[in-house]
Structure 1
């Protein structure tokens, strides 16, 4: 989470910058980056070189319209859309006709991504809200709530952008309970 938060705050970071910022060993940061790349949350980019040798890698989080695209995230989005289309054909009562097909595909991808991350999201397609309550991350680490919420919102933006459609994350709905998390989406 800390690595993702750093990459969301400022993309295009070198490994050494992440090591200094986190205080973790270089191999630990490298291992976490590899897992984040394999999950489709981070994209590496080789730094241009004018001399011989292996280029240094720069890392960015996949989040929002200006972020780099991840081939892993693209595959996950396509697979989620296919499964969602199949579900809507098999169970037509689950369809929300007011939403365009691209928005359904975004919700499919978002739902699967959140489930994969350990959440039990409840999506209300009519109100365009996502309930992630209770958020075990903030329950276990309430002192890091702001950073955790920023990471989760950033990842949700990345999934919606990667899926390509009219839905965007508007923001978190206010709450007094740190374990409550309700995200408002908007149709653009």
Structure 2
């Protein structure tokens, strides 16, 4: 079995995982709320949030106040929805599709039978996973993404559920931002910590 590579990207530290979990669970969180929920110092929270914003995984907005007082900055997960879409994430999706089209022109056999929109979703998802330290293997027929060996296998077992949930949310955000029929449904694990497979689902088209 291949050796897992280094963990990088948005889940490169457990502190970022904690922050992502908080903003995925409930959007529009303040620095104070995130400090209280994670036990991290305010400066540490700000530093991690800035990195996550620069990566396209978190968005910030300014609180709308109807009373006196300085508006607070609010932080939410970049879900790809209209009210939580990151311009950086949009640029990443566009660039991934462009590189995917170039690859398919050079290697026609790399083309997917899933259709244009789903193909572009997979382009964006694969680049996100590679950026995060994974080596994804996609099965177009089974709609699975094999991430084995998981780079997090050597981590604490009690941290895995939160980490898997956070990463599933990140993957869903990428797919939503790309736009198309595919969604990230679940992260499937086994008794072997290094085994990890993401199950995708294709939305059924409504009858006209």
Q: Structure 2 length as normaliser, TM-score?
A: 0.84
SS at match of 2:60: strand
SS at match of 2:44: helix
Q: Are 1:38 and 2:38 counterparts?
A: no
1:95: Cα distance to partner?
0.9
Match of 2:126 in 1: 111
Q: Are 1:10 and 2:26 counterparts?
A: yes
- Stretches of 4+ aligned residues off by more than 3 angstroms: 50-54, 64-67
Report the CA distance shift for 1:139/1:133 in structure 2 as closer, same or farther (over 3 A): same
Match of 1:121 among 112, 116, 136: 136
Match of 2:171 in 1: 156
Equivalent residues of 1:42, 1:61 under 8 A apart: yes
Match of 2:99 among 83, 86, 89: 83
Report the CA distance shift for 1:67/1:171 in structure 2 as closer, same or farther (over 3 A): farther
Report the CA distance shift for 1:152/1:67 in structure 2 as closer, same or farther (over 3 A): farther
> Aligned partners of 1:151 and 1:181: how far apart in 2?
14
- Higher deviation after alignment, 122-131 or 144-153: 122-131
SS at match of 2:183: strand
SS at match of 1:140: coil
> Aligned partners of 1:17 and 1:84: how far apart in 2?
40
Report the CA distance shift for 1:64/1:174 in structure 2 as closer, same or farther (over 3 A): farther
Aligned residue pairs total 187
Name stretches of at least 5 consecutive residues in structure 1 with no aligned partner.
none
Match of 1:60 in 2: 76
User: 1:90-148: per-residue Cα shift (whole Å, max 9, x none)?
Assistant: 1001112x211010100000000111111111111222111111222242222201000
Q: Structure 1 length as normaliser, TM-score?
A: 0.93
SS at match of 2:84: coil
RMSD after superposition: 1.7
Match of 2:181 in 1: 166
Match of 1:74 in 2: 90
